Amino acid sequence: MTVFKTLDIRGLSFFNAFNMTNEAVNDVKANGILEIILDKKKNFSEAFRNWASSRGYQVSNVDEGDGLIRMFITKVARLKNKKR
**Domain residue ranges in the chain:** 2-74
Rounded to an integer, what distance in angstroms lies between the CA atom of residue 46 and that of residue 81?
31
Asked: is 2-74 a CATH 3.40.50.460 domain? The reply is no
CB proximity list for 81: less than 8 A, separation 6 or greater: none
Per-residue confidence (pLDDT) for residue 43, from 0 to 100: 79
**Rounded to 5°, angle at Cα 43 from 41 and 48:** 160
pLDDT in tens, the chain (84 residues): 678 999 999 999 999 999 999 999 999 999 999 999 999 888 799 999 999 999 999 999 999 988 899 999 999 876 655 555
Q: What's the Cα-to-Cα distance from 22 to each of 25, 30, 34, 57, 69, rounded to whole Å?
A: 6, 15, 10, 12, 18
